[in-house]
Structure formats: structure tokens, C-alpha cells
Chain A
């Protein structure tokens, strides 16, 4: 059984052009530098450098040092540089790997050392991307994640089925770690994809962290009639109503839509698409059914707590139900221990 969802991809256009530099907005502090570790740094030195450079993992929006420590505690055996964008519009991770192939490879090696992983590989979206990267760097170790959503969770599932523990480190975080260790450079910019129907030419832009979003929108010529702006991901991201919010390392993409999509909702028809799509083997329709009751029976909430918030179920539901929210509420009930 093939899990996950096949989404129509809109990546080609933004990958056509190289990453553009966004001119600095006024009032931003200059990039910070610190003393780089000398010689071949051990794992503690790498963690210290990640901390001093204030690197953020762009996929989870947590400090990289904290994440690497967590991976070390969990005994991760395979560190994966995530150069896969699950979102069909976003290409920032792919662009980061294409632009800074050597940086990502070096950063991944450092990250693997820091978290104690014996093996490290770069996760790429598909075979064509693999060929493209091998052309740039013939000795890179690559693994194909596939384009079904959620690619990260599905790849992790298949790798863990073979034994061992795999964990992802963001591509941009890897590149930033390499720069921090070799040059003592703090993370000060991020690659952001600007795409969607409100943008004439979708492209990847290198943005100084802290730049107001409006500056980036103006640079890319986002249409004045744009009604919805989404950052992070078009599946699990956030809608932005105030364009003066700063771009962060975890922004990854800005999707401008002229018309907010509208979906009709119907009652659950029991097609079972949600449980087939779920990468964690949850049965969302059953949880939704139970949560509709006035007093849900916590014993019938199944394995709601293994949800990873990928929202595949909400996306595939032909009735347009927000199943992911129901699973989240169910998980909260089980977490709280309030069983009555």
C-alpha cells in the first residue's frame, strides 16, 4: 500500500533561475562574526559553534544546537540533510543544495559528528534531482525521498523499517553550520521561495533574516490584489495578515494567492482515504467520529498521539473535513490524562 498523497508539483519555474540576492532593507544590523573553532572541531565544539552562530533548523523552527543534542540523546544512527520540499510550490531547500552543494555536504558531516550519527546522507526529491546533484558533486551520498507528500515522514518510515534511527537536518542549517565552523559566520540570511498566483515570476531569493516581509513582496512584484499570503508551507504553514512581520530562518516560502481557496464541506462519507494517506497508521475518520460525540471515549481514540501534524488527512479528505485538527484535539485529550 502506498501511503501519502500525490500532489501536483509547481516547482519547475522557481528552479529555472539562480537564487537572487535581496538588497538589504534599511535598519538591519550588519552580519555578526565570532571566533571560529581552530583545527578539526570535536562534537562539542561544533555544538558550541551552532549555538554561537544562532543557527535555526528551518524545517522544525528550533535552534540547531538543541536539535542536535536531542538527536544525540536519541541515539540517531543516520543523519539526513533534508533537501526535499514537501510543499508543491516551495523549492528553497532544493535551491540551497544546488547553490551550496559543498557547504551542505560539509555541514552535514559536521552535524553528523555533533549528533553522533555514524552515517550521513542527503535526501533529494527524485531521480532527476539526484542526477543534477551528482553532476555537481560526484561523490555526494544521496537518497531519493520521492515526491509523495509527506516525503520526509515517508522516507523516515522506510529507512527505519530497514533498522536504525534516521533524523533530518535542514539543508540551509547544514550550510550555515559549515560557514559557522569554517569562517565563524553567524546565520544571517535564508533562502525563501516566493510563488503562487499573486507572483508573476516565481523565484528563490536570499533574504537577510529580520527583513520585513513587505520588502521581499515588493522586490518580487507581488500583485496588489493578493488576498492570502502563506509562509512556511501551503499545507501546514500560517496565513500572514500583517506584511511587516520579519522573515525568519524558518520562513522557507511565501505563497501569495490572488483568491483564497474555498472548499465546501460535507459529512464524512467513509471513503477511508485519510487512513490510507496517513504516514503514521492513524485512522483519522474513526477519531473524527469519536470526537463528534459529546463525550469521546479516550480508549477509542486509537493512536492519535503518534500524529506528526502533516495534515495529509485534511488535505485528501473529499468532504473537506479538518481531520488533522480532530486528531490534534484527541491527542490533547489523551495527553492531558483527563479521561472523563
Chain B
């Protein structure tokens, strides 16, 4: 019998970073279904390309930093999927790839990869794309423009998204049913609100995402939308349009809940949710773009470690007092 030495513990829980990322990827892949049905396989191709670029970037950086090819967890793939799903289906294929490359090469790998990045890489990549090519990032194909060409540019009729209409102070006038199933102009994966909500429930049940952040985030969005409608309509329809348009719900499930860049204590998480929700609405009111969710996420990322420190300061660095 040839026995080995080992340190305890000899058993572990089933959840690992890799399994959490797999759950995340599964939920994100579900979001691809509706766009593929509506616009042909182009969204899937864009997502696959972006994931590939992100994974290659990460591989390159791990080779440079550690001289090994440990692809480790699937976090680069998750970043790629989020980036691809938040860009329009008719965007040229290089756009999500460029955003994904920036996300990994500038916002993630230089800081030491998963677990050490201070900012959400996907949000950074999208912010980069929004600043560099705003006309590409915010021009959405009109609904019913049919199957798009697989590769190459697609010259399709574009339509203003509900978020853009709201920005101009007009009511978007979309049927509630269409709104729920995401049959309107908008980012590829963020319009199908029902699917996003289902994915959110799945992630909360698997404890991959933190529900308290999402809850606080949506609470603030709802309160601000009800109190300050951007167009002339009653508070309830204001809440409806603000919640269902743009990428608010998608960000609340997939972006602000990222455990790495959000605070690690429950109290700080709630404050973080409130803060990012308020920032999203501030960007909608005062920002130059129709959607500022990614900028709001980046700003609140910066506040996350401070919020954690404040919580510990408040508790006197003693943590919860243990029973003798």
C-alpha cells in the first residue's frame, strides 16, 4: 500500500468557482435562444466569437504571467457572453470582440485575473465600446427585420429602443406582451425580460448570484421611476417602462451581482445595490447615452471595498460576537 500525505480537509463542498461559472454560462446561453429565433444564428455566432476572443486573451495573459496554460475557471467565457448579449444583434462582429478583448486585456488580466479585478470586466468592455463607437452600440435593428446575414455587415432598418424614446421624454408605447417577451429593439440578450427573470431565479437558487443586491437595486429603480417619470404618464407605467427597457434587469441579475466586484458582507451588499440602482437612474436622467447601466456598475464597483470597510468599522472590527 503506497500511502500519500495530505492536508485536511479531505472532503469539500460541491460548489467551486468553475461550477459557479458553468451555472452562469448556462443561464447566459438560455438568453441566446430568443434572439436566435428572431434574427437567425447571427447572435449565437457573435457570442461564440466574443467568448473565443476573451478566452484567447486570458490564455495569452496567463502564458505571459505564469508561463503555464491553465485556463482555470470559465470566467473569461462569462465575460464574453455578457458583452455579446448587451450589444445589438446587428452590430458588426468585430465590435463585441473588441469590447471583450478590452474587458480581459485591460480590465481583468492586468489586475491578476478572477478574484482580484476591482471592476466588472464586462462592464468595462462595454463602457469602452460605448465611448468609442456610440453610433454602433446604440443602433438596434428594428423588430421583424428577419434573419440577419451570418457574417459581414448587415444594413437593416434600425429603430429607436424604448430607452432612447424615454430619453427624449416620450412614452414608448409598446404592448405589455411584446415588452415581456422582448419583441422590441434593444440589446441582443437583455430584452427578453421573462427569460432574464427566470435565469435570475436559477442563479439565486444556486447561490451563484446574491439576491439582496438585485432586490435593493430594483427597489431603488422602481421608487425613482415612480417618483420621477421621464415622460408624461402615471407612475405605474413609468415603472414598467424603466424596468423593462434597456439593460436594467439584465444588469441587475448578471452584472451588479458579480461576487468579485461587489461587497462581501450582506449589509454592504444592500447599500451597494441601492447605490448602483440610484446611479443607473441618475445616468438615465442626466447621462448623454440612453443607457448608463454599465457606467453605474463601474462607479459602484469603486465604492464596494469602501462599503465593506465601513461595515467592519461599524461593527468595531469584532465581527459578530461569538457565544463564549
B8 close to A270 (CB less than 8 A): no
Chain A residues whose CB sits within 8 angstroms of the CB of B114 once the complex forms: 266-267, 269
A315 close to B17 (CB less than 8 A): no
**How many Å lie between the Cα of A234 and that of B18 in the bound state?**
23
Q: Indicate whether A241 sits within 8 Å of B4 (C-beta atoms), given known contacts A266-B72, A281-B319, A318-B17.
A: yes
Q: Give 1 or 0 for each of B193-210: 1 = CB within 8 Å of chain A CB.
A: 000000000000001001
Contact of B4 among A228, A235, A275 (CB under 8 A): A228
Q: Indicate whether A228 sits within 8 Å of B324 (C-beta atoms), given known contacts A264-B18, A266-B17, A318-B17.
A: no
Who on chain A is nearest to B3 by CB? A241
A239 close to B259 (CB less than 8 A): no
**Interface majority SS (helix, strand, loop, mixed), chain B:** loop
Q: Give 1 or 0 for each of A311-340: 1 = CB within 8 Å of chain B CB.
A: 100111111101011000000000000000
Chain B residues whose CB sits within 8 angstroms of the CB of A168 once the complex forms: none
What is the interface residue range for chain A against chain B?
35 or more
Chain A residues whose CB sits within 8 angstroms of the CB of B73 once the complex forms: 266
A268 close to B115 (CB less than 8 A): yes
Q: Indicate whether A281 sits within 8 Å of B322 (C-beta atoms), given known contacts A227-B3, A267-B116, A319-B17.
A: yes
Contact of A224 among B1, B264, B312, B322 (CB under 8 A): B1
Contact of B6 among A242, A260, A268 (CB under 8 A): A260
Interface centre among A5, A285, A319 (most CB of B within 10 A): A319
Query: Which residues 190-243 in A have Cβ within 8 Å of B in the complex?
Result: 217, 222, 224, 226-230, 234-243
Chain B residues whose CB sits within 8 angstroms of the CB of A235 once the complex forms: 8-11
B317 close to A239 (CB less than 8 A): no
Report the count of interface residues on B (CB-CB < 8 A): 45
* Smallest CB separation, A221 vs chain B (Å): 13
B5 close to A239 (CB less than 8 A): yes
Q: Indicate whether A302 sits within 8 Å of B319 (C-beta atoms), given known contacts A266-B73, A318-B13, A320-B12.
A: yes
Cβ of A88 under 8 Å from chain B: yes
Q: Indicate whether A281 sits within 8 Å of B320 (C-beta atoms), given known contacts A271-B259, A272-B265.
A: yes
Chain B residues whose CB sits within 8 angstroms of the CB of A315 once the complex forms: 9, 11-13
Contact of B319 among A8, A238, A283 (CB under 8 A): A283
A286 close to B312 (CB less than 8 A): yes
B12 close to A299 (CB less than 8 A): no
Query: Which residues 249-304 in A have Cβ within 8 Å of B in the complex?
Result: 255, 257, 260-261, 263-264, 266-273, 275, 280-283, 285-286, 299-300, 302-303
A226 close to B1 (CB less than 8 A): yes
* Smallest CB separation, A82 vs chain B (Å): 18
Chain B residues whose CB sits within 8 angstroms of the CB of A271 once the complex forms: 20, 207, 259, 264
Interface centre among B19, B210, B322 (most CB of A within 10 A): B322
Chain A residues whose CB sits within 8 angstroms of the CB of B321 once the complex forms: 281, 303
Q: Could you list 6 A-B pairs, sorted by A, with CB under 8 Å?
A: A157-B323, A227-B3, A230-B8, A242-B3, A255-B10, A280-B323
Closest A-B pairs by Cβ, 3 of them: A267-B115, A281-B320, A306-B322
Apart from A269-B259, A303-B319, A303-B322, what are 15 other A-B pairs with CB-CB below 8 Å?
A5-B13, A157-B323, A234-B10, A235-B8, A236-B8, A241-B3, A266-B73, A266-B114, A267-B113, A270-B260, A272-B265, A281-B321, A283-B319, A315-B12, A318-B17
Q: Residues of B at under 8 Å CB distance from A?
A: 1-20, 72-73, 112-116, 207, 210, 259-260, 262-266, 312, 317-324
